Structure 1
Amino acid sequence: MNILQNAYGTGKFSACLLLLFSSLASAQDHEKLMIGHFFAGSLAQWQSKAFKGQTEYRIVDLEGTKALQAVSNDSASGLLKEQRVDLRKTPFMNWRWRIENRLGNINEQEKSGDDYAARVYVVVSGGLAFWRTRALNYVWASTTPKGRIWPNAFAGDRTIMIALRSTGDQTGVWHTEKRNILADLKQQFGEDIQYIDAVAIMTDTDNAQGKATAYYGDIYFSKE
């Protein structure tokens, strides 16, 4: 019996493998900062923020997996989780999302059309200087071309909208995103911003009195 067979026979080889895989898993977990663990059925520490009416958010089973469902009917409310993230350690935000319908012919650069079937955004708090609070909104646009960037119709250049998805993207299927938030903040605000203070999601249809259904998968930050 050779050394490998002997180690396996005594269980030492198996123990070594388990220890190795456990160490690798621990290292990977350490490099992943979970923000929204919807797959686990959890909405812990997520707070509702209403602007007009209530978009309905709930964990559902969808095609064999758990996800966060958002149903908006002429409403604008979101979910926000306050959590400081050090972007120098974990600069990439990762998530999955899908929409079931588009919102039609609206102008998203105007207040009357500032609606999105799905959006995920990060917030940099200004503290007591609330006017310094800034945000990046990654949106699923209805008419704005994919890749377009513009200031929010209500908040101006303190809130920047980025169309990650638009009319050319298929509805009813999952799409996976990864964004370098550290780099995006630098590009849009011209500053090296090390921390964000919150992550939010929102499906809103109040300005154009529309309806939308969207789903959000887990949201997490990673080193790469």
Structure 2
Amino acid sequence: MITLLATALAAGTPIWVGRFDTDGALPSPWRVVRLDKDVAPTRYSVTTVGGRRALEARSNNSMAILVRPISVDLSKTPILCWRWYVDAPVEGADMRRKSGDDYAGRVYVAFDMPDSALSVGTRLKLGIARRLFGKHVPDAAVTYVWDNRNPVGTRRKSAYTDRAQMIVAESGGAEAGRWVSERADVGADFDAAFEGDPGRPVQIAVASDTDNTHGSARAAFADLHFVSRGTPCQS
């Protein structure tokens, strides 16, 4: 297996983490994680959206993430590629405030970090967060969002935690109602957000959430994979 993986990487083969080919059931190892049991969960299914087989997320005053483990070497394949689709951005969202922290579409990459890269205060805060929200709270995360107002490329920490770097990959409604292809350098974005501290990507997640603005949204995701910096994204 190790030899096959090394050969694939050398040949520029993408590392696929999200292909959704069968209608209905969510493919293993993807699973729904509710971060707040008092909030209704976003509903996920595999179906056809905009002429493409994809993972659909329907949010109605709800929040839950769909997550799977990953094993990716960002020194070799740091580029995350994906396609997404939203009906519309979340009206009334505002990434500066907890009350506005909603997005029609999100793509997260979660990281483990060694204790040596985390201050005592950070470790204490993470421990509290995990007691409140469960073990899925990561040491750090880079999150790409489809925002409603801020320009593409906007970067700021989450309104909830400085352990999550938010990056606006799409904004507004000009591209709503159609499939949009994305390419993001997760390795560089993590290094910039966490000042070169070491980290290892361990999970990828997608979501559509409207629990703070009490609205609704629909998104779809397809073709999630990692490639090297010199390799084009695959369809």
TMscore range, shorter length: 0.7 to 0.9
Secondary structure of the 1:107 match is coil
Give the corresponding residue for 1:4: none
Structure showing greater Rg: 1
Unmatched 5+ stretches in structure 1: 1-25
1:34 is aligned to 2:20: no
Structure 2, unaligned stretches of length 5 or more?
A: 1-7, 116-122, 128-137, 230-235
Distance in 2 between residues matched to 1:86 and 1:31, nearest whole Å? 13
| Distance in 1 of aligned mates of 2:11 and 2:53 | 20
Identity across matched positions, percent: 32
Cα deviation digits, residues 34-66 of structure 1 (max 9, x gap): 101114556210121113211110000234431
Distance in 1 (CA, whole Å) between partners of 2:113 and 2:199 is 13
- The residue that corresponds to 1:84 in the other structure is 71
Q: What displacement does 1:126 show?
A: 4.1
Q: Give, in whole Å, the separation in 1 of the partners of 2:185 and 2:153.
A: 15
Match of 1:143 among 136, 142, 149: 149
Higher strand share: 1
- Any idea what SS the aligned residue of 2:178 has? coil
State the 1:31 CA deviation.
Answer: 2.3
Separation (CA, whole Å) in 2 of partners of 1:126 and 1:43:
28
Kept in 1: contact 2:92–2:213 (CA 8 A): no
TM-score, normalised with respect to structure 2: 0.77
Aligned pair count reads 199
Aligned to 1:47: 31
TM-score, normalising length: structure 1: 0.81
Greater helix fraction, Structure 1 or Structure 2: 1
RMSD: 2.3
**Alignment check: 8 A CA contact 1:76 1:203 kept:** yes
Q: Secondary structure at the match of 2:189?
A: helix
SS of residue matched to 1:72: strand
What is the CA-CA distance between 1:195 and the residue it aligns to?
A: 2.6
Q: Which residue of 2 aligns with 1:17?
A: none
1:171 equivalent to 2:153? Answer no
SS at match of 1:109: coil
